[in-house]
Structure 1
Amino acid sequence: MENFELSPSNYPLEKRIRKELSLLGLLVIILLFFVGLNLVYFTAVFFMYILLLLLKRNRIIIKLKFDNENKELILSYYYLIFFKGKERIPYSKLIGKLSMKRFGFGAATETLEIFKGKILSGEIRKDGKWKWPKKQIKQISQKLSEIDKNNSH
């Protein structure tokens, strides 16, 4: 079993709250400036923001376990800031893709996407929010390509 884990100092609760809710705070300030106190707008923005946080791109992946005995990858992550989740992906459905991705208006960031078949399970970024060390991303990418080679035979 091979484990890769993001350092716990990279995702403490206060950092998760500050980084994930900063956009919501900005949206609230903009709404207050343009429309004043309007409960309908605030409720709509709040629900849309929760839906955005539920997207799999917003998972904070904290641990990857390659379980060679059971031939599966186990992803551990946070979603909606507080809740921990796990996903098991059999090696037969596991696809990893390292590519440049653009998030918002920023520059493109090298990102490792992990798929369960055609469904995105999560992303690991080299830079920006919730970044992983480049060495670990390279090791994970190599491990995923080994698994892909074994699956294609």
Structure 2
Amino acid sequence: MEYDIQSRLQEIPAIVTECLNGPDHEAAITAIIPGEPVAKSRPRLTRRGRAYTPQKTAVAEEYVRTVVISQTGCLSLEGPVALELLTVLPIPMSWSQKKRMAAQKGMIRPAVTPDFDNLSKLYCDAVNGIWWQDDRQMSAPI
């Protein structure tokens, strides 16, 4: 049986919601951000020493904000919140045909950039003020 990534992606909202206390639990909020995941870039400095956010990061954060608001609205949750982030990264084109097939079947997973740290940073910062007031509300699972 061949692994069908498209059907698996369609199942994600239900899977995530069920993992968070059941399919009808009011605390389970899901948003699907289409497109290739983008990592947050480091701030850049002008020649005069002024820091700015690179355009690719600013555009990606605005895209995430727009999609999240269109799917869930502004929630501005109070108190501790937990976030589950599932990203689907493309299989590197540089991999051999055999390795690519193994990845498509789920037998191996690519350990490629962007790393989780920078991915989560972009999505958490983008949703600040929309789902929660600040990402300092993130709590570790108990």
TM-score band (shorter)? under 0.3
Question: What's the TM-score, normalizing by structure 2?
Answer: 0.26
Question: Higher relative contact order at CA 8 Å, sep ≥6: structure 1 or structure 2?
Answer: 2
Greater percentage in helix: 1
Greater percentage in strand: 1
Question: What's the TM-score, normalizing by structure 1?
Answer: 0.25
